[in-house]
Every structure is written in C-alpha cells, then in structure tokens.
C-alpha cells in the first residue's frame, strides 16, 4: 500500500514536470511608444517573426503575447512609422518596449480593375447609419471625464540650446533622463494638467455644460489656476466623427464617414480583425487631394452594426495648415444602452513645427477617458446658464483622489514632466520671459493683488498731445472676487491736459453673471472711431491715438451700467450715460430751437441692450467674462438709446441698432463670415451723434472699416450694412501646382452700405463758421445708391502676410475717392 502510494506520488510529479516542459508558455509584454514624443502608439501590429502569432497594442500602447512556441525576434509595425525588430530570449517572461520613429510616407493609389472598391460598400453603410450611433441623437447624457494635457517644447536644436538665455534651462533638462528619448532628443515640458469633471448634454434645445470637480495645473507662467482650469476639461477636446465636419483649431475637417465621403476620400479594405469581442473591418483612409482638410489613417468598423469601433487618424503636414506638422487623433468608442456611441478614450497630439531652423517647436498632448455614463435624464435649462463651472472646492485634490480617478497611473515620463515644470518655474530667466509674454499679451503685469497697466497707456505721441505719458492699474481676483477697480492717469506735454479713467465694478452674481459698474473718464476721442466699442483691443486703441488725430475732441463721461445673463447666451445690459463733447477742431452745430451756433454739447442717455448667442462659449476669466465665440449659430445684438434733456443733457433723440454675426462653414468651398449692422437715429442731432461710418486711409487692411472709404467721408441717421468675407482655405489655389507648394490661400470681400440723412440733420450742420469761413461737416449717402466695395486677395504669404486688392464701385466722384486700393496686413493663422 505504502509502495503504491509512493509510486503514485513519483508518477504524479514526473507527469507534472513533463507537462510543464511539453506545454511551457512564453509571455512577452511591453509598450510601444513614439520615439519623438513618448506617446503610446495604439493599434500597432506586434508579431513574432516567422510565425502567425501576433496581436495589436491597446489604447495605451501595451501588448501581451502568450505563446507555446517562441521565435528568434519580435517585430512591431504601424503605418506612418518605421518598423522595428528586437531579439527574444529563451526565458518564460520578458518585457520588451519599442520606440518607433515616424516616417514620411505616401500611399499608392489603389486600382480596382473590375467592380466597385469593396471598401465603398462598408463606408456607405456606415455613413447611412450615422444617426443611429451619433451621441447627439440622445435626449440627454452625462459622463464623468478624466482629462490630462501636456505641452512641451521640442526640436531643441543645438544652436537654440547654446543660447545664453537657454543654457540654464538645458542644464536642468540634461539632468532628467526620462525626458530624453532613445535617440537622445530632448523635450522641454512647460505645462501639465489633470482634470476630473462631469459633462452634461441636452437635446432640444442643444445645450452643453462641464462641471470641473477637481483640477491640478502646473505650468510656466501659470499664476492662478481658476481661469486655466476652465479650459483644461474635456469640453474643449470633443471630437465626434459622426458629424459631417469636425472643428479643429478653427478649421473644418471632413469626417471619413460624412455624407460626401466619396468626394474627399479614397479607402482600402485591409483586413477583418477581432477588436475585443467585436469583429471589425479595418480600413485605410486617405484624402483624394493631399492638401484638403481631411484625415489619413485607419478606422475600424463593426462588421455587424457598421458602427465605428476605433479611429487612428492623422492630419498630415501636406494639409494646408501653417506651422502645424501633424494632428493625430486616436479614439475608442463604446455603445450606450440606447445604441449611440460615446468615446471611452481619446488621445490628441498637435505638433507645431519650427518657424525657423534656429527656433524650437511645440508639442501639445491631450488625453480624455470617459466612464459613468448616464442617459436620458436631462437637466433643466437654467442648469446650462454657464458653459463651464468650477465647484467651490475644485482645487488640487488629495493623492488618494487622483489615484482613484485616474484610469492609469502616471507614467515615469509624466512624473518627470511634473518635476521639470516645477523646476522651470523657479528659474529666473524663465519667470522673466513668461511674465513678459503675458504682460505683452494682456497689457497688464500682476504684482500681488493688483495688475499694472495697460502698457499701451505708458507712452504715446500725437499732434494734439505731443508726448503723452501715463500709468494705470487694476485689482485682480486675489484682491476680491466681488469687487473690481481699474483706472489710469495720463498727461500730454503739448496740450498740458490730464486724462483719466476710473471704474468700480460690483459682481453681484457670478453664476448668472450680474454686475453693476460705475465709471468716469476724460479722454481724447475722434469722431467716427467709437472708442467705446474698441475697449477690448488695447493695441488698436493705442494706435488710434498715435500720429495725426482726425476731428479730435475731449470726451468727459460718467456711466452707470447694469448687466445680467438671464439664461444661457441671453445677456441684458442697461445704463445711464452722461457725456460732454468738447471739440479740438473747428466744429459747430445749430441749436434746435434758437438756431444759434454752438460748438459744445452735453447728452444724457438711457441705454438698454440685448445680446443672444445660442451656442456661444463663455468662461469667467477671473473678474471678467471671456467669449470663445459661437460654433454654429449667429450672435444677435439689439440696442436702444434714449437721449433726454435732463441732468446735463440738452438734446433729445432716440437710437435703435441691430447687429448680427455668423461664421458659416461652406464645406469644400471654405469658410464665410458675415456681419449685418443696421440702425436709425430719430431726432435732430449734431453729426457726431449720427452713425459716422469708419473709413480707412492707411495702407493696412482692417475688418473694422470700409477699406476704400476716406475718414469721415459719410455719416447716416438711417443705415444698413453687410460685410462679407470668404476664406477659400486652399480650395482654388490648391489646384495650381506652384500655389500648392507655396500654400497661399485666396480670400474675397464684399462690403455694401446703405445710408441716408434727413434734411433736419443736414441743416443742423452748417458749412460755415460764425466768422464766415468754410468748415468740414460730413458726406451723406443716397439710400437708393449703396456704397459698394469688392475685394480679393492672397493670405498666408510666407505664412504671415496678406495682400488685398479693393475696388471702390460707387461714389467715385467724391473728393479724394480712389477706385483701386492695395492693403497689406500681417497675421498668425493656421
């Protein structure tokens, strides 16, 4: 019995040992990343050389192969990258990572000798079923999102690294090995953020909102995360390929499954593969014309439902984009219980090239993971009043919080990025440059609880003031989130006058943006420039006070303004304005009752206005509202002004005005922008109160003026204008070989103005002063004969410059009128 038991034990051990030898498994795992950026490469092919054993990497670039047979080497390949092989060892478990280098590639044209391309039927069915899987068809949905953003400086050339101002930075960079890829190239991280948020969507009407629960932001030059945190969430990283057109960096890109897919794309059916539990068609997509705003890459389509499963798409350098070398979008989509798909993971990489070989490039990486999906439980309309909302305790959060809410722990590279950014912020030269750039861009220099500026008020020169010096400041969010104070004082050494501006704003409600503002100022203005509407453009405002001032006057004003957003996009404004007009040129008007000559006037105005932007994205920028503009719907404005003879006012009149702006995507033909401006002034008034249409006698092109009209050439008390601009985005010039290489783009303009002035307002403006000498007044339009100018031009010349050619079509007999104008401008566009 005992011997039998021993034999059984020995036999069992022998059998187990033999089984392990005969059925031994080898495990090979690792990660595939981009050698230049360190980003994971999803969906790459990993295969044991000489066998059929292989797998594709997951969304994080990881792979795991378990096999009973082992090859001599393992190979990784992916379209757009150089393939790489590495030897294998005869051990049970081994980890082998790959760093693939991007390659320039051109896809060959596929020729099908008979019948239709088999990929077309797949794309046709996927396009027909777009509405079934588009998340916008849901009544409502809510998701929990984790987003991280990293911005790096790359292409650090040796010449750039040897600059004296950069050497202190690169010495720190060299000490952090994780920021060096296998090829020895360096990246210099300057920003890193993590955000956890909840995203809400509602249909009918279509509304969106993101609530930032926690955010952790670190970056060079980032002093207050409250503003930055509002734009680091997932709302600004949404890419829905079930739309016909995707708006990326203000450009419209056609989806590979859009209605007009056959016009823009060619396809190749590569394989039928298993993705998770789903059998999918794997298709290669590429633009028919390399400079069209279209994608190239790979998409996976479910073979049963024809829903998108995965996308790995790139906008290549050959597309007509300035500075952008590559935009890469990877996405995994999961079906909801209702059917439509929601991306579970999205990764976006934007690579900005060097402007010159002596400078550096820029690399921006965005990653969003989505879970906790809730369907068809719409929030009330008032919930969406604010597009982005920060919870009161949105701050950094505990390490435990981030461990629980990250889909994956931060990699060693990302931890090194955080270390580098924190180090850079302490280097004096970095702080100097970052604060300097912010000072130039915003006009203000933060110093504790106040900001000094704007710098445009520090100094100027013109024919009225001579040398002008000034100084200003404002309080910031650190001072108070309920009160905002701002002011400046300036002095002209020629006219020996002080100018000033001061304001106090009480923020009554930040959720429904409600403010009460009291302000007073004494400043030089010019008839027709409407300085009040140019307050947001400090550089243009400063330039308008430089050189020769046209029809200048001293404007003394006191204002009380109330503002409230009643619901999303609907802003109400009301106020009381006191205004004193003191001309610095030969100006007179006839007093209505006595018909006496007067050269000064005062007004008291009651104002009310409504503004509505249905899909305008607004964030609260510390103590101000900042608009990111509309994406689809127009913006409307209606304003009412009543001039009364009360307080200091001595003129009665009424003003009504209407404004409409819209950006329209024209698909293949480019993008259009149009503005409609109309209004009427009721009552007899001096001509500075009329609508003085802005002309442009300078060499420089501006969208704010009629570019063939002279300064102060026309004024109206009834007017309507249409300003239309079209950007062909390469539609025309991409067909011309030479222009295609230059990446020039055609633009077109059409500006038309109808206007007139009633007899009483014409008679109100005498053509002679009391001494009998002639004086300038204003020109007027015949409402039946519109002012018309047509323009065409080329932009993107050397990536910066634009030249426009304008033809003035009407009112050519006016003094000083020229039928043809050439205007130039410089701009930074993509």
Q: Convert the pLDDT of each residue in 296-332 to its tens digit.
A: 999 999 999 999 999 999 987 777 677 788 889 999 9
Question: What pLDDT, on the 0 to 100 scale, is given for residue 41?
Answer: 86
CA distances 475 to 302, 439, 574, 690, Å, are: 57, 15, 24, 36
Confidence of residue 753 (pLDDT cuts 50, 70, 90): very high
Token digits of residue 366: 């965005």
pLDDT at residue 658 is higher than 50: yes
Confidence tier at 667 by pLDDT (50, 70, 90): confident
Lowest-pLDDT choice from 225-234, 342-351, 468-477, 633-642: 225-234
List helix spans (H) across 623-758: 737-742
pLDDT of residue 461: 92
Q: What is the DSSP string of 125-178?
A: HHHHTHHHH-GGGSSEEEEEEEEEEEEEEE---HHHHTSHHHHHHHHHHHT-GG
C-beta separation of 573 from 562 below 8 A: yes
Q: What is the mean pLDDT of residues 662-691?
A: 92
Give the mean pLDDT of the chain: 84
pLDDT of residue 109: 43
Q: Which helix (H) or strand (E) holds 263?
A: helix 261-264
| Residue 655 pLDDT | 97
Confidence tier at 167 by pLDDT (50, 70, 90): low
Least confident interval from 144-148, 297-301, 531-535, 650-654:
531-535
Is residue 429 scored above 70 in pLDDT? no
Q: Over 70: is that where the pLDDT of 442 sits?
A: yes
**Residue % of the chain over a pLDDT of 90:** 46
Closest CA to 685 of 646, 719, 645, 721: 645
pLDDT at 441 over 80: no
785-793 mean pLDDT: 96
Strand order across the 296-302 sheet: 265-275, 278-287, 296-302, 308-315, 324-335, 341-352, 361-375, 140-154, 188-202, 207-219, 388-390
- Is a pLDDT exceeding 50 seen at residue 197? yes
* Residue-wise pLDDT tens digits, 126-164: 999 999 999 999 999 999 999 999 888 876 666 656 666
Domains with residue ranges and CATH for the chain: 22-100 (2.60.40.1120), 684-830 (no CATH)
Is residue 487 predicted with pLDDT exceeding 50? Answer: yes
pLDDT tens digit sequence for 553-607: 999 999 999 999 988 889 999 999 999 999 999 999 999 888 899 999 999 999 9
pLDDT tops 70 at residue 6: no
What mean pLDDT is predicted for residues 482-489?
Answer: 95
Local structure of 553: helix, strand or coil:
strand
């Amino acid at each position: 019995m005992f011997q039998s038991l021993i034999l059984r034990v020995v036999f069992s051990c022998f059998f187990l040992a033999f089984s392990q030898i005969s059925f031994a498994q080898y495990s090979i795992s690792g990660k595939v990343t981009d050698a230049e950026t360190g980003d994971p490469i999803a969906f790459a092919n990993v295969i044991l050389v000489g066998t059929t054993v292989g797998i594709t990497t997951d969304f994080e670039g990881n792979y795991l192969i378990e096999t009973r047979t082992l090859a001599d080497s393992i190979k990784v390949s992916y379209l757009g990258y150089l393939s790489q092989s590495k030897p294998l060892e005869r051990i049970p478990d081994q980890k082998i990572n790959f760093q693939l280098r991007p390659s320039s590639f051109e896809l060959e044209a596929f020729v099908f000798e008979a019948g239709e391309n088999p990929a077309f039927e797949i794309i046709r069915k996927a396009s027909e079923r777009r509405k079934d899987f588009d998340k916008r068809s849901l009544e409502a949905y809510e998701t929990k999102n984790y987003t991280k953003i990293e911005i790096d400086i790359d292409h650090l050339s040796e010449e750039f690294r040897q600059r004296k101002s950069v050497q202190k930075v690169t010495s720190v960079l060299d000490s952090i090995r994780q920021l060096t890829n296998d090829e020895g190239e360096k990246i210099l991280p300057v920003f890193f953020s993590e955000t956890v948020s909840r995203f809400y969507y509602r249909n009918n009407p279509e509304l969106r909102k993101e609530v930032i629960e926690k955010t952790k932001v670190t970056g060079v030059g980032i002093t207050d995360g409250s503003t930055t945190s509002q734009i680091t969430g997932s709302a600004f990283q949404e890419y829905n390929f079930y739309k016909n057109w995707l708006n990326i960096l203000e450009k419209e890109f056609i989806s590979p499954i859009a209605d007009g897919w056959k016009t823009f794309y060619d396809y190749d059916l590569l394989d039928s593969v298993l993705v998770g539990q789903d059998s999918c068609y794997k298709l290669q997509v590429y633009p028919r014309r390399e400079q069209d705003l279209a994608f190239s890459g790979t998409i996976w389509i479910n073979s049963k439902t024809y829903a998108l499963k995965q996308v790995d798409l790139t906008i290549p350098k050959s597309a007509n984009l300035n500075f952008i070398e590559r935009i890469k979008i990877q996405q995994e989509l999961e079906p909801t219980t209702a059917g439509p798909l929601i991306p579970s993971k999205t990764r976006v990489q934007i690579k900005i090239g060097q402007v010159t070989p002596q400078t550096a490039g820029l690399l921006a990486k965005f990653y969003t993971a989505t879970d906790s999906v809730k369907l068809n439980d719409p929030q009330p309309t008032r919930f969406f009043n604010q597009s982005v909302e920060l919870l009161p305790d949105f701050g950094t959060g505990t390490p435990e919080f981030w461990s629980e809410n990250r889909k994956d722990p931060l990699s060693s590279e990302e931890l090194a990025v955080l270390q580098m950014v924190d180090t850079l912020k302490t280097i004096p030269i970095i702080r100097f440059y970052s604060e300097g750039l912010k000072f130039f861009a915003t006009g203000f220099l933060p110093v504790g609880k106040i900001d000094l500026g704007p710098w445009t008020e520090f100094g100027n020169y013109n024919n009225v003031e001579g040398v002008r010096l000034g100084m200003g400041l404002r309080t910031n969010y650190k001072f108070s989130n309920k009160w905002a104070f701002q002011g400046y004082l300036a002095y002209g050494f020629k006219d020996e006058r002080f100018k000033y501006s001061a304001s106090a704003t009480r923020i009554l409600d930040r959720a429904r943006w409600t403010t009460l503002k009291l302000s007073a100022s004494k400043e030089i203005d010019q008839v027709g420039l409407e300085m009040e509407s140019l307050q947001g453009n400090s550089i243009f405002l400063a330039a308008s006070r430089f050189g020769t001032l046209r029809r200048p006057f001293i404007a003394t004003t006191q204002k009380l303004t109330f503002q409230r957003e009643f619901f999303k996009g609907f802003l109400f404004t009301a106020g009381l304005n006191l205004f004193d007009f003191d001309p610095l040129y030969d100006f007179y008007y006839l007093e209505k009752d006595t018909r006496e000559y007067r050269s000064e006037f005062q007004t008291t105005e009651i104002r009310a206005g409504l503004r509505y932007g249905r899909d305008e994205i607004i964030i609260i920028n510390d103590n101000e509202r900042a608009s990111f503009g509309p994406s689809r719907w127009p913006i409307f404005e209606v304003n009412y002004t009543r001039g009364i003879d009360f307080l200091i006012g001595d003129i009665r009149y009424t003003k009504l005005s209407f404004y409409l702006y819209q950006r329209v995507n024209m698909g293949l033909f480019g993008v259009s922008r149009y503005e409609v401006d109309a209004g009427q002034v009721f009552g007899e008034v001096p001509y500075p109160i009329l609508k003085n249409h802005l002309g442009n006698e300078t060499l420089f092109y501006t969208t704010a003026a009629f570019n063939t009209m002279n300064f102060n050439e026309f004024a109206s008390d009834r007017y309507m204008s249409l300003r239309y601009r079209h950007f062909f985005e390469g539609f025309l010039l991409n067909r011309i070989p030479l222009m295609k290489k230059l990446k020039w783009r055609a633009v077109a303009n059409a500006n038309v103005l109808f206007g007139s002035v009633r007899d009483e307002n014409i008679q109100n403006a005498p053509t002679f002063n009391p001494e009998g000498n002639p004086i300038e007044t204003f020109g007027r339009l015949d409402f039946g004969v519109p002012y018309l100018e047509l323009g065409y031009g080329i932009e993107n010349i050397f990536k910066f410059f634009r030249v426009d050619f304008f033809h003035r079509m009407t009112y050519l007999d006016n003094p000083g009128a020229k039928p043809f104008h050439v205007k130039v401008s410089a701009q930074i566009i993509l």
